[in-house]
Structure 1
Amino acid sequence: MSYQNLSGRTAVVTGAASGMGEATARLLAAHGARVALLARRGDRLTELTEKIAADGGQALAVQVDVTDRESITQATQHIHRAYGQADLVVNSAGVMLPNPIAEGRDDEWARMIDTNLTGALRIIRAFVPDLIAAAADGRPADLINISSIGAHVTFPNYAVYGATKAALTHLSASLRTELGPSNVRVTNIEPGLTGTELGGHIDNTELSRQLDGMFTAMDALTADDIADLIAYTTSRPARVNLRQVVILPTQQA
């Protein structure tokens, strides 16, 4: 599919080292966007930058930790020096660490909250002025937050993860009331079962086996499916805001 309206845009993608973030960055670049790749793993970003360049695209590797405010400040300055203002921001960085709430794993709770919610807020704070300025110039301006079906479908042992995603979904809805009048589009995407590295963070053997069983039982979404949805959403005419999209495997729907 052709996404002609992406050509010439400047995108910022967090979590770009793998999964949905990587797939999104590659697709946006393939359709003419300049893409700033943000993630903690600098080596993976370098490899992705080289792949995008080999395919004729433009990409900038920016090693950053979304849980570190100063890291984001430096990354934002670097992006502005290299590419100027961003007009498309994708919050894809996230972590999923399920465990029974009774285990009291407050280290995991803090990591999920600081990455999935506060990290997204830090990125939003850094680039919302860019988006408002782009919209004021008459250009499309997009903020994409990748939440999860876990925002409103409950699963045992995923309480804190689900809570962070529910918060991100609600944040997106609230931001539409603030940014919509300035012609900035806010889209919240809630994927169901998707094949990424996210499950690799789980240290609970039983829960890891349960997740593996779900992948065996159904034909899961791929990271490319999510990237395709993001490219479609952000290439609509500026007057069109696909504000909330739930995307599920057919067998999970």
Structure 2
Amino acid sequence: MTYENLAGRTAVVTGAASGIGAAIAHALAANGARVALLARRADRIGEVASKIEANGGQALAVTTDITSDSSVEAAVSSVHSAFGPVDILVNNAGVMIPEDIVTASFDDWRKMIDTNVTGLLRVTRAFTPDLAAEGHADLVNISSIGAHEYFKDYAVYGATKAAVTYLSKSLRAELGPKGVRVTNIEPGLVESELRAGITGEAGEFLDNWIAQAGILAAEELADVVAYATSRPAHVNLRQIVALPTTQY
């Protein structure tokens, strides 16, 4: 699909090294947006940026740890130097570690909270002056269907995503009057690297669930982001749940 309203805009995508984030970066760039890719893995975002440029797009790889104040501050400076102000921010970076609440590692909980909630807040605050100054901008938060539904061993992950969904609602009230559309997207099963690190019973559960319910390609979710951010300025698709048709 082609979305002409994205041409000439400047986007930041976190977690852009692979999966959903990389697909979102490709989709926005293919529709004419300049895209800054933020992630910790310099080699991977470099590869994604090179592919975008080979296809005629504009991309900037910015090695960033969103759990670090100084790293995010440096990223803002790099993006501004290369592209100027930002008018699309996609908070996609996330960590998912399923564990029993009794035996779970506190370090794993911290990773999820520091990335999924605090990291999202850190990046949002850093780029909000840009978004609010434009008079027409988009803030897209990738939450999860887990914000509403119960899945065994995903209590803390689901809680972080519930926080993202609530933040999106609150930020919409705060930023909407400034011309910033806030879109909260809650995917179900989508191809991503989140699955790769899950082993044992939790991994077997996911494999069986995917076999039964199906799974979306990362590119299909990326198209949802491109569509939402390309609507006319007065149209805000505020809440989107994106599931495989057979997931219920």
Query: What TM-score do you get using the length of structure 1 for normalisation?
Result: 0.96
How many Å separate the matches in 2 of 1:89 and 1:41? 19
How many Å separate the matches in 1 of 2:109 and 2:196? 17
Cα offset for 1:111?
A: 0.2
Query: In percent, how many aligned pairs have the same letter?
Result: 60
How many Å separate the matches in 2 of 1:62 and 1:104? 33
Correspondences of 1:85-164 after superposition (within 5 Å): 85-135=85-135, 140-164=136-160
SS of aligned partner of 1:190: strand
Correspondences of 1:1-253 after superposition (within 5 Å): 1-135=1-135, 140-202=136-198, 204-253=199-248
How many Å separate the matches in 2 of 1:206 and 1:92? 26
Cα offset for 1:212?
A: 1.2
Contact 2:94/2:115 (<8 A) preserved: yes
Contact 2:20/2:191 (<8 A) preserved: no
Contact 2:13/2:25 (<8 A) preserved: yes
How many Å separate the matches in 2 of 1:242 and 1:85? 23
How many Å separate the matches in 2 of 1:78 and 1:130? 14
Contact 1:190/1:247 (<8 A) preserved: yes
Cα offset for 1:218?
A: 2.7
How many Å separate the matches in 1 of 2:45 and 2:37? 7
How many Å separate the matches in 2 of 1:101 and 1:110? 13
How many Å separate the matches in 1 of 2:215 and 2:197? 18
- Structure 1 runs of 4+ aligned residues shifted over 3 Å read none
SS of aligned partner of 1:12: strand
Cα offset for 1:28?
A: 0.5
SS of aligned partner of 1:187: strand
How many Å separate the matches in 1 of 2:132 and 2:158? 30
Cα offset for 1:105?
A: 1.2
SS of aligned partner of 1:36: strand
How many Å separate the matches in 2 of 1:65 and 1:217? 36
How many Å separate the matches in 2 of 1:111 and 1:233? 29
More off after superposition, 209-218 vs 51-60: 209-218
Query: Could you say what the CA RMSD is over the residues aligned between the two structures, in angstroms?
Result: 0.8
How many Å separate the matches in 2 of 1:193 and 1:226? 10
Contact 1:95/1:201 (<8 A) preserved: no
Where do 5+ consecutive residues of structure 1 fail to align?
Answer: none
Contact 1:20/1:196 (<8 A) preserved: yes
How many Å separate the matches in 1 of 2:48 and 2:188? 26
Q: Residue 169 of structure 1 aligns to which amino acid in structure 2?
A: T
Where do 5+ consecutive residues of structure 2 fail to align?
Answer: none
Query: What TM-score do you get using the length of structure 2 for normalisation?
Result: 0.98
Cα offset for 1:104?
A: 3.6
Contact 1:17/1:48 (<8 A) preserved: yes
Cα offset for 1:49?
A: 1.1
Cα deviation 1:82-115 (Å, max 9, x = unaligned): 1110000000000100100000411110000000
Cα deviation 1:10-39 (Å, max 9, x = unaligned): 000000001111000001001100000000
Cα deviation 1:166-208 (Å, max 9, x = unaligned): 0000000000110011111000000001111111222x51101
